């Protein structure tokens, strides 16, 4: 397996220099390292610049609905638990219009890898404030500066029940690859929030500004310690990158499977029994 | 399987099971909740899946995801919940995914009430979501049809790669009647467009986007060619004493049952009145209606709304014959007496 076999013939529609190119490089390398056959992988996305991801991968692709990638992925996982599902989207898709779904995907601990390309702006619609935009941030929809404080994706993920939470930086594809591989190996809801600059509509949160605030997670950090993870996740100055939180908890698919009654008989015989028992 | 005395809502689930539905995603709402509850009880026993989603929107999107994997899947709700699902239904129509949506209709607008109305006719038959698409809409009028038409809905959804709606007023959903179960469906059609997990299909991409105007126009024309085929092949209606009738009453769902009683009473007095009940609200039996107009029959449309299907009847007959209308709303179901009086009133006007 090599990274190029996971790339489709479609040329990415992103602007030159977009952070999402780094994510694409990291993902294809991670898929190669996992050695997953393309026919066993489904890329699911919502709508937005980063949600064009499935077009650029040579796997099954599902470019779904704005904000709805998580429930779509749940439907897919339950229908085909043998297929690996990787979800792609942006901060607006995942935490504004899709915020409600995100919480429930995390608390259910659905076994998916969710990659957020977090650029603090709406890019596809040409530059409006997003749920991760900073207070006072000026955009076309906040010409006098945003009056809303941002939400923190990794904090929300940890508190909602996600079992693998990492933060990465698009300027470090090699580091991203490692975070993705670890998230793909993890059984459960794995969120990787990638600081991925929009070079066209966000002149504040740039490769340079992100790089200045990035700090490596201390080597002695206990990833199973929720309080320690939250302390790092919510640091007001620095973006700690790496794996913030990682625990094991039963996944949703296994709980659903455990409810199912099994029988050696044909399902039609079982239907007759079940129907007649209630008549 | 023995005949059972069950609610229409439960008959929906049993029909879905017999049709091979593998997964149900739903959200609680009156008067449709019995469908979710029956699905929650039966599906796990059969090794299938029920999930109460976080919202109506979550439920339709889980359906969207499961449909893309090629399994038979459904959701159900009632009017306000269906309004929330319209986005997902539009996308599924655009991406050509097979799924079944059941709407047990109640009073509106807004929260309205939980009593039966038929005021979802426009949001389902005319497409409540955005864009150029149509939905097949089946309108059962008894518990037996809740089972049979749900099974038929899954077949149509697979045959035409489209969402199919079963729309029944809350009365039909809540009414208990005997149901006989058809044979289960064992042979399901292959779906090479789905995420099949095979080396030949892994490049399948499911989307509803076409940025180039010519591409999108081509896609919409493709959808409408499919809809023309559905209009040619899938119209269903039922008639009662229409041949010699001077006045033909038209109603669907529970209204058709009350109309039939009224017609029997009027017939006993020697008056020539018949009934046409559309079973498919789209495709609509417009050709049959046009023929009735050719024969000069007067029409009386009765609905539990302020007049929605009556527009389609008027279009079908092009104002060549008088089309009367009587509607009750707010969850009121017309009484036998009201129906009798209306028939007599419209007969006298002949």
Nearest CA in chain A to B74: A75
B64 interface with A at CB cutoff 8 Å: yes
> Are B251 and B199 within one domain?
no
Question: What percent of chain B clears pLDDT 90, i.e. is strictly above it?
Answer: 92
Tokens representing A230 are 């939250």
Task: Output the domain CATH number for residue A125.
Answer: 3.40.50.970
pLDDT above 80 for B1: no
Pairing of strands B49-52, B247-250: unpaired
For an interface test with B, the pick among A59, A76, A79 (most B C-beta atoms closer than 10 Å) comes out as: A79
How many CA atoms does the CB half-sphere of B87 hold within 13 Å?
12
CB contact under 8 A, B1 and A271: yes
Alpha-carbon distance of A212 to A110, in angstroms, equals 34
Q: How many distinct structural domains can be found in chain A?
A: 2
B178 interface with A at CB cutoff 8 Å: no
> Are A137 and A266 within one domain?
no
> Are A179 and A115 within one domain?
yes
What average pLDDT score do residues B319-337 get? 96
pLDDT at A262: 63
3-state secondary structure chain B: CCCEEEEHHHHHHHHHHHCCCCEEEECCCCCCHHHHHHHHHHHHHCCCEEEECCCHHHHHHHHHHHHHCCCCEEEEECHHHHHHHHHHHHHHHHHCCCEEEEEEECECCCCCECCCCCCCHHHHHCCCCCCCCCCEEECCCCHHHHHHHHHHHHHHHHHHCCEEEEEEEHHHHHCEEEECCCCCCCCCCCCCCCCCCCCCCCCCEECCCCCCHHHHHHHHHHHHHHHHHHHHHCCCEEEECCCCCCEEEECCCHHHHHHHHHHHHHHHCCCCEEEEEECEEECCCHHHHHHHHHCCCEEEEEECCCCCHHHHHHHHHCCCCCEEEEECCCCCCCCHHHHHHHHHHHHHCC
> Are A100 and A237 within one domain?
yes
Could you say which of B233, B257, B278 is where a domain stops? B233
> Are A40 and A101 within one domain?
yes
CB contact under 8 A, B51 and A256: yes
CB contact under 8 A, B61 and A101: yes
Tokens representing B314 are 């008027």
For residue B22, give the nearest of A61, A68, A79 by CB distance.
A79
Find out whether B115 and B330 touch, Cβ atoms under 8 Å. yes
Tracing tokens 């008959």 back to the chain, one arrives at B11
CB contact set of B295 (below 8 Å; sequence gap of 6+): none
Query: Cα separations (Å) of A54 from A12, A81, B207?
Result: 10, 19, 10
Task: Output the domain CATH number for residue B217.
Answer: 3.40.50.970
Find out whether B242 and B292 touch, Cβ atoms under 8 Å. yes
Pairing of strands B247-250, B273-278: parallel
**Range with lowest mean pLDDT among A270-274, B99-103, B122-126:** A270-274
Question: Contacts of residue B54 in chain A, CB cutoff 8 Å?
Answer: 71, 100-101, 103-104
* Span B54-84, pLDDT tens digits: 999 999 999 999 999 999 999 999 999 999 9
Q: Range of A266's domain?
A: 250-279
For residue B205, give the nearest of A39, A61, A268 by CB distance.
A61
Could you say which of B233, B251, B281 is where a domain stops? B233
Complex confidence, ipTM? 0.88
> Are B176 and B36 within one domain?
yes
> Are A140 and A263 within one domain?
no
> Are A127 and A10 within one domain?
yes
pLDDT at A263: 63
> Are A261 and A161 within one domain?
no
pLDDT at A278: 58
**Beta-bridge partners for A259:** none
Cα R_g (chain B), whole angstroms: 20
> Are A266 and A234 within one domain?
no
- Kindly report the nearest CA distance between residue B191 and chain A, in angstroms: 14
CB contact set of A220 (below 8 Å; sequence gap of 6+): none
Tracing tokens 């997990």 back to the chain, one arrives at B197
**pLDDT of chain A, 279 residues: tens digit per residue:** 899 999 999 999 999 999 999 999 999 999 999 999 999 999 999 999 999 999 999 999 999 999 999 999 999 999 999 999 999 999 999 999 999 999 999 999 999 999 999 999 999 999 999 999 999 999 999 999 999 999 999 999 999 999 999 999 999 999 999 999 999 999 999 999 999 999 999 999 999 999 999 999 999 999 999 999 999 999 999 999 999 999 999 999 999 988 887 666 777 777 788 777 655
Q: What is the DSSP string of A229-243?
A: HHHHHT-SS-EEEEE
* Span B155-165, pLDDT tens digits: 999 999 999 99
> Are B198 and B251 within one domain?
no
CB contact under 8 A, B14 and A275: yes
What average pLDDT score do residues B316-341 get? 96
**Beta-bridge partners for B168:** B104
- Kindly report the nearest CA distance between residue B14 and chain A, in angstroms: 8
* Span B247-281, pLDDT tens digits: 999 999 999 999 999 999 999 999 999 999 999 99
CB contact under 8 A, A68 and B2: no
Alpha-carbon distance of B120 to B126, in angstroms, equals 10
CB contact set of A276 (below 8 Å; sequence gap of 6+): B1, B2
pLDDT at A34: 98
Q: How many distinct structural domains can be found in chain B?
A: 2
For chain B, positions 14-43, list CB contacts with chain A under 8 A: 14, 17-18, 22-23, 25, 42
DSSP letter at A7 equals B
pLDDT at A176: 98
B193 interface with A at CB cutoff 8 Å: no
Tokens representing B203 are 């490049």
Question: Contacts of residue A259 in chain B, CB cutoff 8 Å?
Answer: 44
What average pLDDT score do residues B312-337 get? 97
Alpha-carbon distance of A121 to A148, in angstroms, equals 13
CB contact under 8 A, B206 and A62: yes
Cα R_g (chain A), whole angstroms: 20
CB contact set of A62 (below 8 Å; sequence gap of 6+): A42, A43, A44, A45, A54, A72, A76, B65, B68, B195, B205, B206, B207
> Are B191 and B134 within one domain?
yes
Sign of CA dihedral B215, B221, B224, B226: negative
> Are B138 and B271 within one domain?
no
Task: State the DSSP H helix or E strand holding residue A169, giving kind and residue range, or none if neither.
Answer: strand A164-169
For an interface test with B, the pick among A13, A75, A279 (most B C-beta atoms closer than 10 Å) comes out as: A75
pLDDT at B330: 97
For residue B66, give the nearest of A39, A65, A78 by CB distance.
A78
> Are A111 and A225 within one domain?
yes
> Are B203 and B292 within one domain?
no
> Are B204 and B258 within one domain?
no
What average pLDDT score do residues B26-31 get? 95
What average pLDDT score do residues B96-121 get? 97
Q: Range of B243's domain?
A: 238-348
Task: Output the domain CATH number for residue B267.
Answer: 3.40.50.920
> Are B272 and B165 within one domain?
no
Question: Contacts of residue B63 in chain A, CB cutoff 8 Å?
Answer: 75
CB contact under 8 A, A38 and B57: no
pLDDT at B350: 55
Alpha-carbon distance of B236 to B280, in angstroms, equals 5
> Are A32 and A164 within one domain?
yes
For chain B, positions 253-292, list CB contacts with chain A under 8 A: none
Cβ neighbours, 10 Å, residue B295: 11
> Are A124 and A207 within one domain?
yes
> Are B69 and B93 within one domain?
yes
- Kindly report the nearest CA distance between residue A275 and chain B, in angstroms: 8
CB contact under 8 A, A62 and B59: no
Pairing of strands A164-169, A239-246: antiparallel
Could you say which of B184, B207, B233 is where a domain stops? B233
Alpha-carbon distance of B9 to B7, in angstroms, equals 5
> Are B263 and B328 within one domain?
yes
> Are A121 and A235 within one domain?
yes
Task: Give the ranges where chain A is alpha helix by DSSP (H).
Answer: 20-34, 53-56, 69-79, 91-92, 99-108, 153-160, 173-185, 207-213, 226-233, 252-259, 267-277
CB contact under 8 A, A63 and B202: no
Find out whether A168 and A183 touch, Cβ atoms under 8 Å. no
CB contact under 8 A, B65 and A79: yes
> Are B153 and B53 within one domain?
yes
């Amino acid at each position: 397996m090599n990274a190029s076999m996971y790339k489709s013939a479609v040329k990415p529609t992103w602007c030159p220099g977009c952070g999402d190119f780094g994510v694409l490089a990291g993902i294809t390398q991670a898929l190669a390292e996992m050695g997953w056959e393309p026919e066993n992988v489904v890329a699911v996305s919502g709508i937005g610049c980063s949600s064009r991801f499935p077009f650029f991968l040579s796997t099954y692709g599902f470019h779904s609905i704005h904000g709805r990638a998580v429930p779509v992925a749940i439907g897919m996982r339950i229908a085909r638990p043998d297929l690996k599902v990787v979800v792609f989207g942006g901060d607006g898709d995942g935490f504004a219009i899709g915020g409600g779904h995100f919480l429930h995907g995390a608390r259910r601990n659905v076994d998916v890898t969710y990659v957020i390309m977090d650029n603090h702006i709406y890019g596809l619609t040409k530059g409006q404030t997003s749920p991760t935009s900073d207070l006072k941030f000026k955009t076309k929809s906040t010409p006098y500066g945003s009056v809303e404080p941002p939400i923190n994706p990794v904090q929300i993920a940890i508190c909602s029940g996600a079992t693998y939470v990492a933060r990465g930086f698009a300027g470090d594809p090699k580091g991203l690859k490692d975070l993705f591989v670890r998230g793909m190996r993890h059984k459960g809801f794995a969120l990787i929030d990638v600081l991925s600059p929009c070079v066209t509509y966000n002149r504040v949160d740039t490769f340079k500004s992100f790089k200045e605030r990035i700090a490596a997670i201390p080597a002695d950090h206990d990833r199973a310690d929720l309080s320690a993870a939250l302390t790092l996740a919510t640091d007001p100055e620095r973006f700690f990158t790496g794996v913030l939180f990682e625990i094991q908890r039963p996944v949703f698919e296994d709980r659903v499977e455990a409810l199912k009654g099994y029988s050696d008989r044909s399902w039609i015989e079982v239907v007759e029994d079940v129907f007649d028992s209630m008549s | 399987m023995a005949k059972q005395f069950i609610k229409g809502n439960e008959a929906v689930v049993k029909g879905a099971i017999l049709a091979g539905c593998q997964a149900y995603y739903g959200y609680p709402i009156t008067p449709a909740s019995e469908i979710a509850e029956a699905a929650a009880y039966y599906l796990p026993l059969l090794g299938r899946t029920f999930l109460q989603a976080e919202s109506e929107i979550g439920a339709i999107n889980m359906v969207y995801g499961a449909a893309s994997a090629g399994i038979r899947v459904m959701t159900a709700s009632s009017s306000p919940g269906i309004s929330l699902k319209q986005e997902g239904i539009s996308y599924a129509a655009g991406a050509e995914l097979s799924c079944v949506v059941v709407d047990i209709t109640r009073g509106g607008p807004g929260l309205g009430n939980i009593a039966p109305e038929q005021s979802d006719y426009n949001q389902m038959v005319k497409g409540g979501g955005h864009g150029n698409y149509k939905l097949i809409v089946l309108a059962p009028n008894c518990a037996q049809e809740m089972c049979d038409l749900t099974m038929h809905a899954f077949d149509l959804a697979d045959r035409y790669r489209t969402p199919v709606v079963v729309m029944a007023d809350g009365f039909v959903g809540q009414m208990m009647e005997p149901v006989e179960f058809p044979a289960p469906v064992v042979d399901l059609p292959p779906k090479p467009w789905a995420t099949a997990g095979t080396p030949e299909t892994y490049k399948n991409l499911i989307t509803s986007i076409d940025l180039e105007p010519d591409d999108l126009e081509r896609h919409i024309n493709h959808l409408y060619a499919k809809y023309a085929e559905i209009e040619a092949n899938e119209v269903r209606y039922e008639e009662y004493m229409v041949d010699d009738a001077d006045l033909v009453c038209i109603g669907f769902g529970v209204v058709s049952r009350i109309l039939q009683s009224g017609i029997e009473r009027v017939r006993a007095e020697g008056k020539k009145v018949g009934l046409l009940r559309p079973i498919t609200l789209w495709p609509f039996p417009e050709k049959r209606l046009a023929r009735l107009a050719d024969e000069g029959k007067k029409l009386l449309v009765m609905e539990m709304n302020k007049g929605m299907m009556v527009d389609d009847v008027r279009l079908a007959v092009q104002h060549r014959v008088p089309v009367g209308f009587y509607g009750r709303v707010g969850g009121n179901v017309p009484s036998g007496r009201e129906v009798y009086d209306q028939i007599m009133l419209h007969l006298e006007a002949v």
